[in-house]
Amino acid sequence: MKIKITFKDPDGVSNSLDESVRNSLLPLAEQLSKQEFEQLVETRLEEVGDKLAKWIEYGEYLTVEIDTDTDTAIVKRV
């Protein structure tokens, strides 16, 4: 049996994205001013957000299809 579940969590996506981007840029934090660092974070958030858009609709909806026969779960494209 295949079951589609749509999850809605506006804060979960944005908070996780922000945390991941900031952690990936931490090695540069000491080399940049606070303003430069924040601008880089914003730019990277836009870039990564655009890449995630093929799976996450409106920045908060994610649909997963679970197949109980094959014991798999797949994130569906928007």
The packing angle between helices 34-52 and 10-29, to 10°, is: 130
Which residue stretches of the chain have pLDDT < 50?
Answer: none
Measured distance CA(49)–CA(65) in Å, rounded: 22
Is residue 68 within 8 A of residue 3, CB to CB? The reply is yes
Instruction: Encode pLDDT of 50-68 as tens digits.
Output: 999 999 999 899 999 999 9
- pTM (predicted TM-score): 0.81
Is residue 74 within 8 A of residue 65, CB to CB? The reply is yes
**What pLDDT score was predicted for residue 41?**
98
Give the start-to-end residue ranges of the domains of the chain. 2-75
